[in-house]
Amino acid sequence: MARPPSALRDHILRSALRLFADSGYKGTSLHDIAQVTGCSKAALLYHFAGKEAILTELLTPAGEELAALDTQLTGLDGEPAAWTAVTGYVDLAMRFRLELKILFQDLPAMTSHPALGAIPSAVGRLLTALAGGSAAPADTVAAYMVLGAVCITVTGDLDLPDEVLRAEMIHSALRTLGREPARP
């Protein structure tokens, strides 16, 4: 049975997201989450069936947005595909920084998580779009480099305003892909 939204539920989710990002999903217990939120373990379990349920709720929006980006890329090729893929992927990565950090801590287990079931196929199509639909080795390698570099950059400790970070990641990704970006 779904529970109604509440301030405590939201606080639990925000706290768990931070704990999972800092200590890893495996390194965080329900007790840790309850302590940080200032509630009992019973209160936490009233809102969520367990730690897995919390993780699912945290990862579902990222999976849904990746699926939406995948839909945007359908039918695009060449320059439009690369530009849409880069800007969409950078925006997605920035919006879900902590979730990406959690994913990268245990990539094999996390990418097979039910909330992210579409990741392998969506990432394959994202790579194709980043490469502009080209199967040339140089384009394929550049696409993989952008895929990894955006995640590493967005989860790093760069002390930059979000708008600067976004603009520089898009610019650098397009350069890596051999598409000279226009500077505003």
Give DSSP secondary structure letters for 108-177: HHHHTSGGGTTHHHHHHHHHHHHTTT---HHHHHHHHHHHHHHHHHHTS-----HHHHHHHHHHHHHHHT
* CB 102, CB 25: distance < 8 Å: yes
In whole numbers, what is the pLDDT of the chain averaged over residues?
89
How confident is residue 157, by pLDDT bands cut at 50, 70 and 90? confident
Q: What is the pLDDT of residue 4?
A: 52
Average pLDDT over residues 128-133: 93
Confidence band of 108 (pLDDT split at 50, 70, 90): low
The arithmetic mean of pLDDT across residues 62-91, rounded, is: 92
